[in-house]
């Protein structure tokens, strides 16, 4: 006898418009031409990357890009630093630019701040593709930090401009801003967090409260996934993080459980639908 689980997918979960745009662009070219280079993982989700790789998408890194000539390269939603565009001109590469408009706007704002000789701090994840592109607008001079504790180890100027990676927590950003002002710094703060992402915190908070258990589906590389999973865990302790259907454990559930399924902005809807089908088959 089965567990008789009823599972429902959160309608606000799944790809944000920036990721949808990049994937649709890739699929159009793959359908026509059968292959396409992409600089870095098109999305921080291994299952979706694998699906597109089977269609002919070739993931390359910056080192491999340097040796390519006369090729077509997709720039994913995270955006790129100016050096990538300079290399493309030098190597006669055609860039298919799927940079998210929210990220492009932020890049331009940071570039303007840098040109006006402002000292720039970026609240973001070290090594994240978007953050590398943002820091690139400042010739590598912006200070990137992941939390306040990191800033405690630094000698900061008295006056600076504060920006944020687009997928960071709004709450944390304002906490950092207020704390720095309280410490006597002159902070010009720019809230550059994507509202399509930040609105999900509120939506998730309401969604997860309605279920016995929560299955949060996300790639392990997704920084947005980590933040959203923390929201799930905060409002429903019975929340479980999985990257693939195989990771769902039968032992987590009881008879007649109501299970909510949600995911990151990099989680494909088909993967959440697979999770729903797997749960209802238990």
Q: Predicted confidence band at 2 (pLDDT cuts at 50, 70, 90)?
A: confident
What lies within 8 Å, CB to CB, of 82 at 6+ separation is: 136, 137
pLDDT digits (tens, 9 = 90+) for 62-119: 999 999 999 999 999 999 999 999 999 999 999 999 999 999 999 999 999 999 999 9
Q: Is 44 in contact with 222 (CB distance < 8 Å)?
A: yes
Alpha-carbon span 169 to 53, nearest angstrom: 31
Average confidence (pLDDT) over 32-58: 96
CATH fold of 6-14+196-280, please? Cobalt-precorrin-4 Transmethylase; domain 1 (3.40.1010)
pLDDT digits (tens, 9 = 90+) for 118-162: 999 999 999 999 999 999 999 999 999 999 999 988 889 999 999
Average confidence (pLDDT) over 223-250: 94
pLDDT digits (tens, 9 = 90+) for 179-223: 999 999 999 999 999 988 888 988 999 999 999 999 999 999 888
Backbone angles phi, psi at 7, to 5 degrees: -120, 140
- Which tokens in the block code for residue 178? 């207020």
Q: Predicted confidence band at 57 (pLDDT cuts at 50, 70, 90)?
A: very high
Q: Where are the domains of the chain?
A: 6-14+196-280, 17-99, 102-193
Position 1 pLDDT exceeds 70: no
Position 46 pLDDT exceeds 90: yes
Residue closest to 5 by CA, chosen among 197, 277, 259: 259
Same CATH fold assignment for domains 6-14+196-280 and 102-193: yes
Task: Provide the edge-to-edge strand list for the sheet that holds 94-97.
Answer: 57-60, 36-39, 72-75, 94-97
Q: Measured in Å, how far apart are the chain's first and last C-alpha atoms?
A: 9
pLDDT of residue 223: 81
3-state SS string over 224-268?
Answer: HHHHHHHHHHHHCCCEEEECCHHHCCHHHCCCCCEEEEEECCCCC
Alpha-carbon span 168 to 242, nearest angstrom: 21
- Output the CA–CA distances (angstroms, integers) from residue 258 to 4, 208, 266, in the order listed: 9, 11, 25
pLDDT of residue 149: 92
pLDDT digits (tens, 9 = 90+) for 219-236: 998 888 988 999 999 999
pLDDT of residue 132: 96
Position 5 pLDDT exceeds 70: yes
CATH fold of 102-193, please? Cobalt-precorrin-4 Transmethylase; domain 1 (3.40.1010)
Q: What is the CATH number of domain 17-99?
A: 3.40.50.11270
Continuous segment of H or E residues that includes residue 143: strand 143-145
Among all residues, which ones are annotated catalytic? 130
């Amino acid at each position: 006898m089965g567990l008789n689980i009823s599972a429902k997918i959160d309608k606000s979960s799944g790809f944000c418009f920036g990721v949808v745009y990049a994937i649709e662009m890739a699929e159009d070219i793959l359908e026509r031409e059968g292959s396409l280079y992409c600089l870095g993982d098109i999305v921080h989700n291994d299952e979706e990357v694998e699906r597109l790789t089977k269609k002919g998408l070739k993931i390359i890194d910056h080192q491999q890009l340097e040796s390519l000539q006369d090729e077509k390269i997709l720039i994913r939603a995270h955006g790129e630093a100016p050096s990538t565009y300079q290399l493309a001109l030098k190597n006669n590469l055609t860039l298919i630019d799927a940079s998210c408009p929210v990220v492009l706007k932020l890049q331009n704002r940071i570039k303007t701040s840098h040109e006006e000789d402002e000292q720039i701090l970026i609240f973001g994840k070290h090594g994240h593709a978007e953050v590398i592109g943002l820091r690139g607008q400042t010739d590598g001079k912006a200070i990137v930090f992941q939390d306040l504790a990191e800033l405690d180890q630094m000698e900061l100027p008295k006056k600076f401009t504060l920006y944020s990676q687009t997928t960071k927590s709004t709450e944390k950003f304002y906490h950092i801003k207020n704390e720095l002002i309280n410490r006597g710094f002159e902070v010009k703060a720019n809230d550059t967090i994507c509202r399509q992402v930040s609105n999900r915190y509120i939506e998730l908070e309401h969604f997860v409260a309605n279920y016995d258990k929560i299955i949060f589906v996300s790639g392990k590389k997704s920084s947005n996934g980590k933040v959203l999973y923390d929201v799930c865990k905060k409002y429903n302790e019975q929340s479980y993080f999985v990257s693939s259907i195989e990771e769902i454990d039968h032992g987590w559930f009881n008879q007649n459980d109501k299970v909510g399924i949600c995911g990151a902005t990099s989680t494909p809807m088909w993967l959440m639908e697979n999770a729903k089908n797997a749960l209802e088959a238990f």
